[in-house]
Copies of this chain bind each other. A is one copy, B any other.
Amino acid sequence: MRLLESFRAFEPDELSFVEGFKVGELSVQAGSSIFLEGHNSPHLYTVLDGWTMRYKTLENGKRQVLNFPLRGDLLGLQNVLFDTMLHSVEALTEVRLCVFQREGIWKLFEKHAGLAYDLTWMAAREESILAETLAAVGQMPARERLAFAIIHLFDRARRAGMTKGKTMLTPLTQEHLADAMGLSLVHANKTLQKLKATGWVAWKGQEITLLDERKLLELSGYERPSNNRRPFI
């Protein structure tokens, strides 16, 4: 229930600080916005539960999905650092958020180096994930891209404890996937069908099943990152 809790145990003083930093909890309906590109908000959130989507809207009307933050992920750091969100965030399911006051960030840096380090670590991790996605979108054909997206998604969901064996439940539509991987909806659909035909992955309704994870990994060129937090000191 606490900032970054998923990465390491807190020191007692950190724990009490985080509890003070925390303003409360917020429940957001599926489909509503959490942040809007170009705007700002007095808050910083972490996801406690549910599916969210970070995306940018372009002038030509298209949409690029950046990723799908899950439990433990930070939302709105740009808010704090830049005073403006450079992308939007939307709830894809009902989402529970842990709310922090953005002003608290100063004290966090001044008094809790360990937490500040965690924050930097998370920002850098986001960057590296985007880099990987960019490489996939820029350099891989549709089949590989979609395999990458599915594997990546599943991996993150697994870390968040949202999978059961080889299957997971998601609110994602093919359009979400297409917008995330820079494909048109139609082409994503046709390519997904071919992927399903290999028997390596099944996607029916809300349920995605990895029938042959190894093959998918191979296809996607995805190397599972060791996302375990490196302890401070």
| Chain A interface residues (CB < 8 Å from chain B) | 56, 58-60, 62-64, 66, 77-78, 81-83, 86-87, 106, 109-110, 113-114, 116-117, 119-121, 123-128, 130-135, 137-140, 144, 179, 181-182, 221, 225, 230, 232-233
Residues in chain B near residue A132, CB distance under 8 A: 56, 86
- The answer to whether B124 and A77 touch across the interface, beta carbons within 8 angstroms, is yes
**Would you call the interface of chain A mostly helix, strand, loop, or mixed?**
helix
Identical copies of this chain, number: 2
Residues in chain B near residue A86, CB distance under 8 A: 128, 131-132, 225
Name the contact of A221 in the complex, choosing from B60, B82, B106, B140 (C-beta under 8 A).
B60
Could you jot down 7 A-B contacts, CB within 8 Å?
A59-B221, A77-B124, A81-B120, A81-B121, A82-B128, A86-B131, A116-B117
- The answer to whether B182 and A137 touch across the interface, beta carbons within 8 angstroms, is yes
- The answer to whether A66 and B134 touch across the interface, beta carbons within 8 angstroms, is yes
Which residue on chain B has the smallest CB distance to residue A131?
B66
Residues in chain B near residue A230, CB distance under 8 A: 81-83
Residues in chain B near residue A110, CB distance under 8 A: 113
Which residue on chain B has the smallest CB distance to residue A114?
B109
Query: How far does the Cβ of A56 sit from chain B's closest Cβ, in whole Å?
Result: 5
| Contact A58/B137 with A81-B230, A117-B109, A124-B81 known, Cβ cut-off 8 Å | no
| A124 and B116 alpha carbons, distance in the complex (Å) | 13
| A181 and B134 alpha carbons, distance in the complex (Å) | 9
